Structure 1
Amino acid sequence: MIKVSEEQYPIIKQFISRAPTFVYSILDRMIEGAVYSDTAAFQTLLFHTKSGIYYVYGNENKTSIDYQLAYCLQQAIEQQKRFTLFSYSEQWNTKIEHLHLMKIFIIIERSMGNVITKSNLLLNP
């Protein structure tokens, strides 16, 4: 995942066919937030507001965003902050449900003292 620079926000606005209002507010720099992409081609995007609202857009088959979502969720849990995720499609909803179950598994394993790494987790459904 790469953090998209604000100079590239107008380019991203051209790719998005529909999104919640807060996504456009991030892209217009009206609210604080960040945009992450899987590649410079912007096939998969993750929008994140400072207040803990997220939106995933694009190709749900990309795995790099899985790790970013899991990381953001982990940070929100550890810091007791908000994590509200909106998705682009029914396919994303299915994938998010799977990632949520994997996150619960990670939390349980950590509480039992086991070490979990990216290499021993399958994050694709």
Structure 2
Amino acid sequence: MIKLNETDFDKVINVIEGKAKTVPTFSYSVLNNFIRGIVYTDSNTPETVLIGTESGIYFVAGKEDNQEFNDFLFDLYCQRKSKKLRFTLFSSTEYWNCLINEQFKDNIKQMSRYSFVFDNKKQFHDKNILVSDYFIRRINEELITNSPEFNEDYYKEYWGSVSNFIKNGFGYCILHKGKVVSECTSIFSSLQFSEIDIATHEDYRGLGLASIIAKTFIGHCLENDIIPRWDCDILNKSSIRLAEKLGFGNPVKYSIFV
């Protein structure tokens, strides 16, 4: 296998976009050097590609019938599992799903997710109105320190560091009496996309805060020519309802393996 230098990451764009139902945002995050990651290919003229984050999230795409590459993929899984490290694999096609199940057998579990498409013609007629004592703020280092959900550990896992998130990502939160009660942040971002991660404190659910803060996040995306993205488990009905309310539709089903 060949481990590409960062200067050669652009070689794989055509492979992943031409042979995948959906390409996860973290792949673009790595390829655009928004986060540190690794790219493996089968040759200097790539036909099969594996893109990974430092935290252990991978995306495989391209030519499927490459046994040497498939063996390498399984060996990588075994190495990480032996060290008790994360290994989450995003598949690009139904054929890859079959090959992964055949190669990994009972070692890995298949799960189904939806990737939604945002309708950039969506107009929000209701305003983001908050009652007194509630305020919207852009996420900064101080707010991350006080966050119950998207804390320093979260940004270290997905962004490598809080400082890298501040540099290359963005997010917004709602404060109530100085307390972070609802947040919408970019779990991954790239030059073109930003994937939404959202959480509301259990004591503040049912108040419409998630919708308000998500609209703030989407507004930032649109003002900066970034396409917002929404992915979730196919069984997460509340996430699906919120996605549809916010203008996300036409979900594409894909698989991950954990």
User: Which one of 21, 31, 36 corresponds to residue 32 of structure 1?
Assistant: 36
RMSD of equivalent CA atoms: 1.7
Structure 1 match to 2:123: none
Aligned 8 A contact 1:46 1:65 in 2: no
Structure 1 match to 2:11: 11
Please give the alpha-carbon distance, in whole angstroms, between the structure 2 residues aligned to 1:56 and 1:21: 13
Gaps of 5+ in 2: 109-258
SS at match of 1:16: helix
Structure 2 match to 1:114: none
Please give the alpha-carbon distance, in whole angstroms, between the structure 1 residues aligned to 2:83 and 2:73: 15
Matched, 1:44 2:41: no
* 1:10 to partner: Cα distance: 2.0
Please give the alpha-carbon distance, in whole angstroms, between the structure 1 residues aligned to 2:50 and 2:106: 19
User: Which one of 46, 53, 56 corresponds to residue 57 of structure 2?
Assistant: 53
User: Which one of 86, 109, 112 corresponds to residue 82 of structure 1?
Assistant: 86
Please give the alpha-carbon distance, in whole angstroms, between the structure 1 residues aligned to 2:54 and 2:92: 20
Please tell me the residue identity of whatever aligns with 1:55.
Answer: F
What is the aligned-residue identity percentage?
38
Structure 2 match to 1:110: none
Please give the alpha-carbon distance, in whole angstroms, between the structure 2 residues aligned to 1:40 and 1:102: 33
Deviations for 1:49-108, whole angstroms, at most 9, x for unmatched residues? Answer: 11010110100011121122111111121111111001110000000001112868xxxx
TM-score after normalising by structure 1: 0.76
Aligned 8 A contact 1:76 1:83 in 2: yes
- Aligned residues between the structures: 104
SS at match of 1:74: helix
- Higher helix fraction (1 or 2): 1
Matched, 1:65 2:85: no
Aligned 8 A contact 1:54 1:84 in 2: yes
Aligned 8 A contact 1:70 1:103 in 2: no
- Higher strand fraction (1 or 2): 2
Q: Which has the higher contact order (CA 8 A, sep 6+)?
A: 2
Distance 1:5 1:44, change over 3 A: same
TM-score after normalising by structure 2: 0.38
* 1:16 to partner: Cα distance: 2.8
Please give the alpha-carbon distance, in whole angstroms, between the structure 1 residues aligned to 2:6 and 2:55: 18
Please give the alpha-carbon distance, in whole angstroms, between the structure 1 residues aligned to 2:107 and 2:62: 22
* 1:14 to partner: Cα distance: 3.8
SS at match of 2:39: strand
Please give the alpha-carbon distance, in whole angstroms, between the structure 2 residues aligned to 1:11 and 1:77: 29
Gaps of 5+ in 1: 105-125
Looking at CA atoms only, which structure, 1 or 2, has the larger radius of gyration? Answer: 2
Aligned 8 A contact 2:47 2:63 in 1: yes
Please tell me the residue identity of whatever aligns with 1:79.
Answer: K
Aligned 8 A contact 1:45 1:56 in 2: yes
